[in-house]
Amino acid sequence: MRKQIAAANWKMNLTLQQAEALVDELLATPFSLNENQQAVFGVPFPYLIAIHNKFIGKNNCYVSAQNCYTKKSGAYTGETSVEMLTSIGITYVIIGHSERREFFNESNAMLAEKINCCLSNNLKPIFCCGEPLQIREAESQNSFVETQLKESLFHLTVEQITNFIIAYEPIWAIGTGKTASNEQAQQMHKHIRTVLANNYGLDVANTISILYGGSVKATNAGDIFAQPDVDGGLVGGASLVAADFAVIINSLKK
């Protein structure tokens, strides 16, 4: 069975003190993770070491950066390299979130470079894809997402993409309170897996965890995660509430 993952994306929120208090509260809240489940916490850069240390010894809990740069080192003031992240014990990094694409003009080609940097340093990417509202309204979402996948991931070998993580986030549902219906989520997740299978084979496609992101809440996570091709979620606002995120973790498929 594919890994079932509850991934938190804290975005640009919380002070260090608030972040530490959130983790302390979460760790005091009942949730469980079996060997096939993971909780991943996408933490702002200044807090990575502190929050990583909070989870030392906690089975199947990992800390993720929210971004990285395309170069290993150099005169790139303000950027963070994958080598820096691995040197402090970070396991995951979110790549290609729609906010990075929209506000920082990250292209599919740039994201391919970031993926390469991650994999060359044993850092696991969580690759985001998804369509804006106008694409959904034009019913062009399948081809739009397929292009994102092909241009950023299809240079990878079978070995590199096996056990990969993809997060599908309909942009029109991020932070809006709107959520894709369970049927819409399943349809796109199945389409993504089909696109992967057509290029890499069904056996490889069936190893890849595909997460849903877009106004996932404690109240809807169970229904969304129950869909056959949905392997968990990339969660924004609800991950900032310990009790809610604990419910979301407990909603993962067993």
**Helix spans in the chain (H):** 16-27, 48-54, 82-87, 98-104, 108-120, 133-137, 141-153, 158-161, 182-200, 202-205, 221-225, 242-250
Q: Name the token pair of 55.
A: 């989870």
**Catalytic residue ranges:** 97, 169
Q: Name the token pair of 46.
A: 């200044």
Torsion angle in degrees (nearest 10) through CA of 143, 149, 151, 153: -160
Separation between Cα atoms, residue 237 and residue 235, nearest integer Å: 7
- 153 burial type by CB count under 10 A (0-12 exposed, 13-18 middle, 19+ buried): buried
Handedness of CA 209, 1, 183, 192 (dihedral sign): positive
Task: Please list, in sequence order, all residues whose beta carbon lies within 8 angstroms of the beta carbon of residue 4, skipping any fewer than 6 positions away.
Answer: 36, 37, 38, 209, 225, 231, 232, 252, 253
- 167 burial type by CB count under 10 A (0-12 exposed, 13-18 middle, 19+ buried): buried
How distant, in Å, are the alpha carbons of 20, 57, 170 from that of 163? 30, 23, 22
